[in-house]
Amino acid sequence: MTLKNNKFEMVIWDWDGTIMNSTPTIVECMQQSCRDLGMPVPSDQIASHVIGLGIIESIRIAMPTVAEADYPLVLERFRHYYLGKDHELTMFEGIRELLSDLKANGHILAVATGKPRVGLNRSLNNHQLDDYFHDSRTADETRSKPNPQMLLELMEKWAIPAHKIVMIGDTTHDLKMAKSAGVSAIAMSYGAHSAEELLAHQPLACFSKVEDLRHFLLS
């Protein structure tokens, strides 16, 4: 299919906090896991800050006093709570329609997420989004954000130059990853990190509404 808009050939999406309105749920599950285990409970700010990183890196930063030997306990508790709520999560309004129109417009769509593969596949299936994406990378398959490996692998596989790729995310981890890979980045301020934090990393644009993102990508 011929691309109708030549601004970007490939649009790469973060998942949690960008496509899925999951930030409050992740924070709640992380905090409840710590309460169950009698561990220090991270604040909302700290818990939301690590969203987008791989799970091990998230624990290391948000729960610095937890011994590495206890990480499996935290993981087990987190998964227990998250799996109980995963099916209740919803996409941000307008995302499905935007993904559909971008694909119809000829863009290659991909996901680069801190979720593990099993978690991403479950969410794709739960929300019937499998057919929208051409490719994806997860933190348990490559290096965790902000390392650029996810983007570099996608760039190489699809033979698309950096200037024809844009990364869309709601965290500074996404923006740092994009910068390291040499690709453009668009920040969405409705997720885990504030507009002020995101703008400090000088994204191509920062939007608070999917409607504004749609206008930027398709107009």
| Residue 188 parent element (H or E) | strand 184-188
Q: Note whether 189 and 212 are within 8 A (CB).
A: no
Residue whose entry in the numeric block shows the structure tokens 């011929």: 2
CA 14 – CA 31 distance, rounded (Å) = 23
Indicate which residue of 16, 36, 70, 86 is catalytic.
16
User: What is the identity of the amino acid at 109?
Assistant: L
DSSP, res 53: B
Q: How far is CA 141 from CA 136, 159, 167, in A?
A: 10, 20, 19
Indicate which residue of 14, 135, 140, 212 is catalytic.
14
Q: Note whether 5 and 217 are within 8 A (CB).
A: yes
Q: How far is CA 85 from CA 2, 82, 88, 89, 147, in A?
A: 40, 5, 5, 7, 29
Give the HSE-up count for residue 16: Cα atoms under 13 Å, Cβ half-sphere.
27
Residue whose entry in the numeric block shows the structure tokens 């500074």: 172
* Other C-beta atoms lying within 10 Å of the C-beta of residue 37: 16
Active site residue 135: no
Question: Which residues are known catalytic residues?
Answer: 14, 16
